Structure 1
Amino acid sequence: MRDTPPRQVGPPPARPRFEFRERPSAVTVHRPTIVVASSVLWLAAGALGAVAALVMLLDLQALEAAVRTVVDRDFPAEQPATRDRAVALTSAVLVAGGAVGLAQVAAGLRLREGRGAVRYLLVLLLVAAVVEIVLAVGVVDPVARLALLLGAACGAVAAVLMYLPDANRWFASRRP
Protein backbone atom coordinates (compact mmCIF):
# COMPACT_ATOMS: atom_id res chain seq x y z
CA MET A 1 0.00 0.00 0.00
CA ARG A 2 0.93 3.53 -0.27
CA ASP A 3 2.61 5.46 2.39
CA THR A 4 0.40 8.30 3.40
CA PRO A 5 1.80 11.20 5.28
CA PRO A 6 0.56 11.59 8.81
CA ARG A 7 -2.34 13.93 9.25
CA GLN A 8 -1.65 17.27 10.73
CA VAL A 9 -3.35 17.94 13.98
CA GLY A 10 -4.30 21.48 14.86
CA PRO A 11 -5.62 24.50 13.04
CA PRO A 12 -5.16 24.86 9.32
CA PRO A 13 -2.41 27.13 8.06
CA ALA A 14 -3.23 30.82 7.87
CA ARG A 15 -4.39 32.22 4.57
CA PRO A 16 -1.88 34.37 2.78
CA ARG A 17 -2.74 38.03 2.82
CA PHE A 18 -2.47 40.09 -0.33
CA GLU A 19 -2.48 43.81 -0.52
CA PHE A 20 -3.64 45.04 -3.86
CA ARG A 21 -2.31 48.43 -4.85
CA GLU A 22 -3.32 50.34 -7.90
CA ARG A 23 -0.70 50.94 -10.53
CA PRO A 24 0.75 54.43 -10.31
CA SER A 25 -0.68 55.23 -13.75
CA ALA A 26 -4.18 54.25 -12.60
CA VAL A 27 -4.18 56.49 -9.55
CA THR A 28 -6.14 59.64 -10.16
CA VAL A 29 -4.10 62.67 -9.27
CA HIS A 30 -5.82 65.77 -7.93
CA ARG A 31 -6.75 68.11 -10.79
CA PRO A 32 -4.36 71.09 -10.85
CA THR A 33 -5.85 74.55 -10.59
CA ILE A 34 -4.28 75.53 -13.92
CA VAL A 35 -6.37 72.86 -15.65
CA VAL A 36 -9.51 74.22 -13.98
CA ALA A 37 -8.52 77.77 -14.97
CA SER A 38 -7.83 76.67 -18.53
CA SER A 39 -11.19 74.94 -18.73
CA VAL A 40 -13.01 78.00 -17.41
CA LEU A 41 -11.19 80.24 -19.89
CA TRP A 42 -12.14 77.90 -22.76
CA LEU A 43 -15.76 78.06 -21.62
CA ALA A 44 -15.57 81.86 -21.57
CA ALA A 45 -13.93 81.93 -25.02
CA GLY A 46 -16.64 79.70 -26.45
CA ALA A 47 -19.41 81.73 -24.86
CA LEU A 48 -17.94 84.98 -26.22
CA GLY A 49 -17.68 83.45 -29.70
CA ALA A 50 -21.30 82.33 -29.55
CA VAL A 51 -22.41 85.79 -28.35
CA ALA A 52 -20.52 87.42 -31.23
CA ALA A 53 -22.22 85.09 -33.72
CA LEU A 54 -25.60 85.87 -32.17
CA VAL A 55 -24.96 89.62 -32.47
CA MET A 56 -24.00 89.16 -36.13
CA LEU A 57 -27.04 86.98 -36.74
CA LEU A 58 -29.40 89.53 -35.20
CA ASP A 59 -28.24 92.15 -37.69
CA LEU A 60 -27.58 89.89 -40.66
CA GLN A 61 -28.66 92.42 -43.28
CA ALA A 62 -26.17 95.00 -42.01
CA LEU A 63 -23.45 92.34 -41.97
CA GLU A 64 -24.18 91.35 -45.58
CA ALA A 65 -24.24 95.01 -46.61
CA ALA A 66 -20.86 95.64 -44.98
CA VAL A 67 -19.38 92.54 -46.63
CA ARG A 68 -20.86 93.59 -49.98
CA THR A 69 -19.26 97.02 -49.63
CA VAL A 70 -15.83 95.50 -49.04
CA VAL A 71 -16.20 92.95 -51.86
CA ASP A 72 -17.45 95.57 -54.36
CA ARG A 73 -14.64 97.95 -53.42
CA ASP A 74 -11.83 95.38 -53.55
CA PHE A 75 -13.00 93.29 -56.52
CA PRO A 76 -14.73 95.61 -59.01
CA ALA A 77 -13.69 93.56 -62.08
CA GLU A 78 -15.38 90.34 -60.92
CA GLN A 79 -18.72 89.15 -62.22
CA PRO A 80 -21.72 90.12 -60.08
CA ALA A 81 -22.56 86.44 -59.50
CA THR A 82 -19.05 85.79 -58.20
CA ARG A 83 -19.30 88.76 -55.86
CA ASP A 84 -22.69 87.54 -54.62
CA ARG A 85 -21.20 84.13 -53.84
CA ALA A 86 -18.28 85.75 -52.02
CA VAL A 87 -20.67 87.86 -49.92
CA ALA A 88 -22.84 84.86 -49.07
CA LEU A 89 -19.87 82.65 -48.21
CA THR A 90 -18.14 85.27 -46.04
CA SER A 91 -21.35 86.06 -44.18
CA ALA A 92 -22.01 82.37 -43.59
CA VAL A 93 -18.47 81.81 -42.29
CA LEU A 94 -18.77 84.75 -39.90
CA VAL A 95 -22.11 83.62 -38.50
CA ALA A 96 -20.99 79.97 -38.35
CA GLY A 97 -18.28 81.11 -35.94
CA GLY A 98 -20.91 80.49 -33.28
CA ALA A 99 -20.47 76.77 -33.96
CA VAL A 100 -16.75 77.20 -33.24
CA GLY A 101 -17.70 78.81 -29.94
CA LEU A 102 -20.04 75.98 -29.02
CA ALA A 103 -17.35 73.45 -29.95
CA GLN A 104 -14.94 75.29 -27.65
CA VAL A 105 -17.45 75.01 -24.80
CA ALA A 106 -17.88 71.27 -25.35
CA ALA A 107 -14.14 70.68 -25.65
CA GLY A 108 -13.48 72.82 -22.56
CA LEU A 109 -15.78 70.54 -20.58
CA ARG A 110 -13.94 67.48 -21.88
CA LEU A 111 -10.64 69.12 -20.93
CA ARG A 112 -11.82 69.46 -17.35
CA GLU A 113 -12.66 65.74 -17.30
CA GLY A 114 -9.03 64.95 -18.11
CA ARG A 115 -9.19 64.16 -21.81
CA GLY A 116 -5.72 65.24 -22.92
CA ALA A 117 -6.30 64.66 -26.63
CA VAL A 118 -8.89 67.43 -26.69
CA ARG A 119 -6.06 69.95 -26.22
CA TYR A 120 -5.12 69.58 -29.89
CA LEU A 121 -8.72 70.19 -30.96
CA LEU A 122 -8.87 73.30 -28.82
CA VAL A 123 -5.75 74.72 -30.45
CA LEU A 124 -7.31 74.11 -33.89
CA LEU A 125 -10.52 75.81 -32.76
CA LEU A 126 -8.45 78.77 -31.57
CA VAL A 127 -6.90 79.03 -35.03
CA ALA A 128 -10.40 78.98 -36.55
CA ALA A 129 -11.45 81.78 -34.17
CA VAL A 130 -8.44 83.88 -35.23
CA VAL A 131 -9.34 83.35 -38.89
CA GLU A 132 -12.85 84.54 -38.08
CA ILE A 133 -11.41 87.68 -36.49
CA VAL A 134 -9.38 88.38 -39.63
CA LEU A 135 -12.54 88.07 -41.72
CA ALA A 136 -14.48 90.28 -39.30
CA VAL A 137 -12.11 93.25 -39.43
CA GLY A 138 -13.89 96.21 -40.98
CA VAL A 139 -17.12 94.26 -41.48
CA VAL A 140 -18.55 93.41 -38.07
CA ASP A 141 -19.95 95.92 -35.60
CA PRO A 142 -17.77 96.85 -32.59
CA VAL A 143 -19.69 94.75 -30.04
CA ALA A 144 -19.23 91.53 -32.02
CA ARG A 145 -15.61 92.41 -32.78
CA LEU A 146 -14.90 93.03 -29.10
CA ALA A 147 -16.51 89.71 -28.16
CA LEU A 148 -14.41 87.92 -30.79
CA LEU A 149 -11.19 89.56 -29.58
CA LEU A 150 -11.90 88.81 -25.91
CA GLY A 151 -12.76 85.23 -26.82
CA ALA A 152 -9.50 84.81 -28.71
CA ALA A 153 -7.55 86.33 -25.80
CA CYS A 154 -9.22 83.94 -23.34
CA GLY A 155 -8.46 81.05 -25.70
CA ALA A 156 -4.80 82.06 -26.04
CA VAL A 157 -4.30 82.22 -22.28
CA ALA A 158 -6.16 78.92 -21.84
CA ALA A 159 -3.99 77.27 -24.50
CA VAL A 160 -0.85 78.29 -22.65
CA LEU A 161 -2.22 77.08 -19.29
CA MET A 162 -3.21 73.66 -20.58
CA TYR A 163 0.34 72.94 -21.73
CA LEU A 164 2.18 73.97 -18.54
CA PRO A 165 4.20 71.21 -16.77
CA ASP A 166 1.66 70.56 -13.98
CA ALA A 167 -1.12 70.15 -16.53
CA ASN A 168 1.06 67.90 -18.70
CA ARG A 169 1.80 65.66 -15.71
CA TRP A 170 -1.86 65.47 -14.81
CA PHE A 171 -2.95 64.60 -18.34
CA ALA A 172 -0.17 61.98 -18.55
CA SER A 173 -1.31 60.33 -15.32
CA ARG A 174 -4.93 60.04 -16.46
CA ARG A 175 -6.06 57.00 -18.38
CA PRO A 176 -9.26 56.90 -20.44
Structure 2
Amino acid sequence: MPALRALKPAALTVATGLAGVLVGFWANAAFFPGTSPRQPIEFSHKIHATDNAIPCLYCHTQARRSTVAGVPSVRKCVDCHNIVAKDRPQIRKVMSYWANQQPIPWIKVHDLPDFVYFPHKRHVQAGVACQTCHGKVETMHRVKRVAPLKMGWCLDCHKAHAVEHGLDCWTCHK
Protein backbone atom coordinates (compact mmCIF):
# COMPACT_ATOMS: atom_id res chain seq x y z
CA MET A 1 0.00 0.00 0.00
CA PRO A 2 1.75 3.13 -1.20
CA ALA A 3 -0.38 5.42 1.00
CA LEU A 4 0.85 3.70 4.20
CA ARG A 5 4.48 3.86 3.03
CA ALA A 6 4.15 7.63 2.85
CA LEU A 7 3.07 7.73 6.52
CA LYS A 8 5.97 5.59 7.76
CA PRO A 9 8.52 8.47 8.05
CA ALA A 10 5.99 10.61 9.92
CA ALA A 11 5.16 7.76 12.30
CA LEU A 12 8.88 7.17 12.98
CA THR A 13 9.38 10.88 13.64
CA VAL A 14 6.49 10.97 16.12
CA ALA A 15 7.72 7.79 17.86
CA THR A 16 11.27 9.15 18.11
CA GLY A 17 9.97 12.47 19.45
CA LEU A 18 7.84 10.70 22.07
CA ALA A 19 10.82 8.56 23.14
CA GLY A 20 12.92 11.73 23.42
CA VAL A 21 10.34 13.41 25.63
CA LEU A 22 10.16 10.35 27.91
CA VAL A 23 13.97 10.17 28.19
CA GLY A 24 14.01 13.92 28.91
CA PHE A 25 11.52 13.57 31.76
CA TRP A 26 13.54 10.66 33.19
CA ALA A 27 16.83 12.58 32.93
CA ASN A 28 15.28 15.64 34.55
CA ALA A 29 14.00 13.57 37.47
CA ALA A 30 17.28 11.70 37.82
CA PHE A 31 19.84 14.49 37.49
CA PHE A 32 18.38 17.84 38.39
CA PRO A 33 17.19 19.68 41.48
CA GLY A 34 13.87 18.75 42.97
CA THR A 35 14.54 15.03 42.66
CA SER A 36 12.93 13.27 45.60
CA PRO A 37 12.58 9.52 45.13
CA ARG A 38 10.33 7.39 47.31
CA GLN A 39 12.50 5.46 49.74
CA PRO A 40 11.88 1.94 51.12
CA ILE A 41 11.57 3.50 54.60
CA GLU A 42 9.85 6.87 55.03
CA PHE A 43 12.76 8.38 56.91
CA SER A 44 12.31 11.96 58.12
CA HIS A 45 15.46 13.99 58.62
CA LYS A 46 13.28 16.64 60.25
CA ILE A 47 12.27 14.28 63.04
CA HIS A 48 15.80 13.00 63.55
CA ALA A 49 17.99 16.07 62.90
CA THR A 50 15.71 18.94 63.97
CA ASP A 51 13.22 17.54 66.47
CA ASN A 52 15.76 15.22 68.14
CA ALA A 53 18.92 17.25 67.37
CA ILE A 54 20.92 14.32 65.99
CA PRO A 55 23.92 15.76 64.09
CA CYS A 56 24.54 14.70 60.46
CA LEU A 57 27.87 13.08 61.33
CA TYR A 58 26.33 10.83 63.98
CA CYS A 59 24.67 8.76 61.25
CA HIS A 60 26.86 9.67 58.28
CA THR A 61 30.07 8.75 60.10
CA GLN A 62 32.11 8.12 56.95
CA ALA A 63 31.80 11.74 55.74
CA ARG A 64 34.62 13.00 57.95
CA ARG A 65 37.12 10.36 56.80
CA SER A 66 36.06 9.14 53.36
CA THR A 67 35.14 10.29 49.89
CA VAL A 68 31.54 9.18 50.53
CA ALA A 69 29.25 10.19 53.37
CA GLY A 70 27.67 6.76 53.39
CA VAL A 71 24.31 5.77 54.73
CA PRO A 72 23.98 4.43 58.24
CA SER A 73 23.84 0.70 58.72
CA VAL A 74 20.60 -0.88 59.86
CA ARG A 75 22.44 -1.52 63.13
CA LYS A 76 22.71 2.25 63.72
CA CYS A 77 18.91 2.54 63.38
CA VAL A 78 18.26 -0.49 65.57
CA ASP A 79 20.48 0.85 68.36
CA CYS A 80 17.87 3.55 69.05
CA HIS A 81 14.72 1.96 67.71
CA ASN A 82 14.99 -1.13 69.88
CA ILE A 83 13.61 1.29 72.46
CA VAL A 84 12.23 4.37 70.68
CA ALA A 85 8.99 4.29 68.63
CA LYS A 86 9.34 0.57 68.04
CA ASP A 87 5.63 0.02 67.36
CA ARG A 88 5.41 2.43 64.41
CA PRO A 89 4.97 0.82 60.96
CA GLN A 90 8.15 2.33 59.47
CA ILE A 91 10.21 1.17 62.44
CA ARG A 92 8.77 -2.32 62.06
CA LYS A 93 10.05 -2.24 58.47
CA VAL A 94 13.52 -1.31 59.76
CA MET A 95 13.35 -4.19 62.23
CA SER A 96 12.34 -6.53 59.40
CA TYR A 97 15.52 -5.61 57.49
CA TRP A 98 17.49 -6.19 60.70
CA ALA A 99 15.86 -9.57 61.36
CA ASN A 100 16.56 -10.68 57.78
CA GLN A 101 20.14 -9.36 57.96
CA GLN A 102 19.55 -7.17 54.91
CA PRO A 103 20.66 -3.60 54.28
CA ILE A 104 17.94 -1.06 53.60
CA PRO A 105 17.98 -0.50 49.82
CA TRP A 106 18.07 3.30 49.93
CA ILE A 107 17.81 5.14 46.61
CA LYS A 108 20.55 7.72 46.15
CA VAL A 109 19.33 11.29 45.90
CA HIS A 110 22.75 12.96 45.56
CA ASP A 111 24.29 10.52 43.09
CA LEU A 112 27.27 11.79 41.16
CA PRO A 113 28.58 10.09 38.01
CA ASP A 114 31.23 7.41 38.62
CA PHE A 115 33.97 9.52 36.99
CA VAL A 116 33.52 12.32 39.55
CA TYR A 117 35.90 12.34 42.49
CA PHE A 118 34.27 14.22 45.35
CA PRO A 119 35.99 13.89 48.73
CA HIS A 120 33.42 14.50 51.46
CA LYS A 121 36.19 14.35 54.06
CA ARG A 122 38.04 17.37 52.66
CA HIS A 123 34.88 19.45 52.70
CA VAL A 124 33.78 18.29 56.18
CA GLN A 125 37.28 18.82 57.61
CA ALA A 126 37.37 22.30 56.03
CA GLY A 127 34.18 23.17 57.91
CA VAL A 128 31.85 23.20 54.90
CA ALA A 129 28.36 22.62 56.29
CA CYS A 130 26.39 19.72 54.79
CA GLN A 131 23.63 22.22 53.94
CA THR A 132 25.95 24.04 51.51
CA CYS A 133 25.47 21.28 48.94
CA HIS A 134 22.54 19.28 50.27
CA GLY A 135 20.27 22.11 51.35
CA LYS A 136 18.41 22.22 54.65
CA VAL A 137 18.08 18.44 54.88
CA GLU A 138 17.34 18.78 58.60
CA THR A 139 13.98 20.34 57.66
CA MET A 140 13.02 17.70 55.07
CA HIS A 141 10.64 14.85 55.69
CA ARG A 142 11.78 13.39 52.37
CA VAL A 143 15.24 14.34 51.07
CA LYS A 144 15.33 16.09 47.72
CA ARG A 145 18.19 17.44 45.66
CA VAL A 146 18.29 21.23 45.88
CA ALA A 147 21.46 21.96 43.87
CA PRO A 148 22.49 20.72 40.42
CA LEU A 149 25.83 19.38 41.73
CA LYS A 150 27.37 19.96 38.32
CA MET A 151 31.01 20.92 37.83
CA GLY A 152 30.22 24.57 37.08
CA TRP A 153 28.19 24.84 40.28
CA CYS A 154 31.09 23.44 42.32
CA LEU A 155 33.62 25.72 40.60
CA ASP A 156 31.44 28.76 41.33
CA CYS A 157 31.47 27.83 45.03
CA HIS A 158 35.25 27.37 45.02
CA LYS A 159 35.72 30.74 43.30
CA ALA A 160 33.35 32.46 45.75
CA HIS A 161 35.32 31.09 48.70
CA ALA A 162 38.76 31.56 47.09
CA VAL A 163 39.59 27.86 47.33
CA GLU A 164 42.95 27.04 45.79
CA HIS A 165 43.94 23.54 44.78
CA GLY A 166 47.41 24.28 43.49
CA LEU A 167 46.19 23.17 40.05
CA ASP A 168 44.77 25.14 37.20
CA CYS A 169 41.57 23.53 35.86
CA TRP A 170 43.17 23.46 32.44
CA THR A 171 45.84 21.02 33.72
CA CYS A 172 43.30 18.24 33.27
CA HIS A 173 40.58 19.87 31.16
CA LYS A 174 42.39 20.92 27.98
Report the TM range for the smaller structure's normalisation. Answer: under 0.3
Q: Which has the larger radius of gyration?
A: 1
TM-score under structure 1 normalisation?
0.26
With a CA cutoff of 8 Å and minimum separation of 6, indicate the structure with the bigger relative contact order.
Answer: 1
Could you say which structure has the higher helix fraction? 1
TM-score (norm 2): 0.27
